[in-house]
């Protein structure tokens, strides 16, 4: 589709305001969804991080002693 001038392109034979409003709404919704997704991701990341930190501080069993290979005398009476 070819237009004679830039203003004709913006007006689009009377359909321009509808078209440009639709593009504007699309861009705003896309930006809003990206922002909301980023914030949700950050919130979930922080919740998981706090959970792992609490889990590592509380209720962690003491480390077991390393295995040893000492000889044990077994008596068979």
User: Which pLDDT value is given to residue 61?
Assistant: 64
Give the global pTM: 0.57
Length of the chain: 77
Q: What mean pLDDT do residues 4-30 have?
A: 92
Q: Is the separation of the CB atoms in 5 and 11 below 8 Å?
A: no
φ, ψ for residue 67, nearest 5 deg: -65, 140
Q: Is the separation of the CB atoms in 20 and 28 below 8 Å?
A: no
Spatial separation of the C-alpha atoms in residues 50 and 55, rounded to whole Å: 8
- Token representation of residue 33: 């969804």
Q: Is the separation of the CB atoms in 22 and 29 below 8 Å?
A: no
pLDDT digits (tens, 9 = 90+) for 20-75: 999 999 999 999 999 999 999 999 999 999 988 887 777 666 667 777 777 777 87
């Amino acid at each position: 589709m070819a237009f004679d001038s830039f203003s004709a392109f913006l007006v689009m034979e009377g359909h321009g305001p509808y078209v440009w409003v639709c593009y504007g709404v699309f861009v705003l919704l896309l930006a809003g969804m990206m922002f909301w997704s980023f914030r949700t991701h950050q919130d979930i990341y922080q919740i998981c991080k706090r959970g792992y930190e609490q889990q590592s501080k509380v209720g962690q069993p003491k480390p077991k002693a390393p295995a040893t290979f000492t000889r044990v005398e077994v008596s068979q009476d």
